[in-house]
Amino acid sequence: MAGASAGIIVGVTVRLLATDLDGTLLNSERSVSARTAAAMAAARAAGIEVVWASARARHSIHELAQSCGFTGKAIGANGAVVLDLADGTPVISGTTSIDATAVATAMKRVRDVVPGVVFATVGATRFVAERGYAALCVFADHHRHPHEMDVRSTVLSDEPTVKIVARHPDLPSVELYRTVLAAEVDGVELTHSGAPYIEMSATGVSKASALARLCEELGIDRTAVAAVGDAFNDVPMLEWAGTALTTENAMLEIKEIADRILHSNDDDGVARYLEELTEDRAGHSTEGAPS
């Protein structure tokens, strides 16, 4: 595992960088720095695809893209939703939902394991919360004002559920995650993004599964993919990609599986890496050119 100042891994030609958002690409103010926006634009101009891979929902991904001029592809809801922002709007190009029976079964199982847990169910465009769940939220949790949430006693019924989120009024989310993980809830893929809640998608759905499909469509082999993330929900993507990256501020468990640790999110770690890739691409393109 290389340190923060290490160069590009020898022998690897990266054609696509998949990056997590919160805690990774975004700074502590949850915004895209000017340097990061410029680095993404320069990388794409040099032929390096940049893909966002986040637990976030469509609306907040759209807001971020508008703030920095990003027009690439984005993976949302931990791989359950894929967006194309080419024309500046978040066009949904693919979704993977959880079977309605699996939603009900998973929620019952988690309630049995951890009494007092409360839920929200998420669709590609909708978000429905139990009253107890909304009461625990602040705007930053889901980029929705709690008093404006669609609060119901039943789960989402207007469209298929792509993600279940759960939290507890007293149990920290990491402890809730470890407890539910040990219970082995069937029919869903459990993960944790560092947020104050845990998340469940359909079995087999992850940032990695969505990224693999995108790369197949783009004709990019996994060996030419670099991925960067900072939390448990990034692990499948980091393990799938040819080059696994993380940031200095990441969880210890994520640092242990990374090929390289970049500078922190507040020190433009992803931007610095993209600048290296762009410079390396420019250097190779001028080799052998007439002087």
Residue 260 and residue 244: Cα distance in Å, rounded?
A: 7
Selected residue with higher pLDDT from 4 and 206: 206
Query: Would you state the pLDDT for residue 68?
Result: 97
Host H or E run for residue 94: strand 91-95
- Torsion sign over Cα 109, 111, 117, 120: positive
Query: Would you state the pLDDT for residue 10?
Result: 52
Is 9 among the domain residues? no
| 216 and 77 both lie in a single domain | yes
Choose the final residue of a domain: 170, 202, 234. 202
Query: Would you state the pLDDT for residue 283?
Result: 75
Percent of the chain having pLDDT more than 70?
A: 93
CB neighbourhood size of 237 (10 A): 27
Query: Would you state the pLDDT for residue 286?
Result: 55
Residue 22 and residue 249: Cα distance in Å, rounded?
A: 11
Query: Would you state the pLDDT for residue 285?
Result: 61
2: pLDDT strictly greater than 50: no
Is 170 among the domain residues? yes
94: pLDDT strictly greater than 60: yes
Q: Which domain holds residue 170?
A: 100-202
| 25 and 64 both lie in a single domain | yes
| 69 and 111 both lie in a single domain | no
Give the global pTM.
0.91
List 53's β-bridge partners, or say none.
Answer: 75
Tokens of 27: 């700074």
Single-letter amino acid, residue 115:
P
| 89 and 221 both lie in a single domain | yes
Choose the final residue of a domain: 171, 202, 233. 202
The domain spanning residue 226 has which CATH number?
Answer: 3.40.50.1000
Choose the final residue of a domain: 150, 183, 202. 202
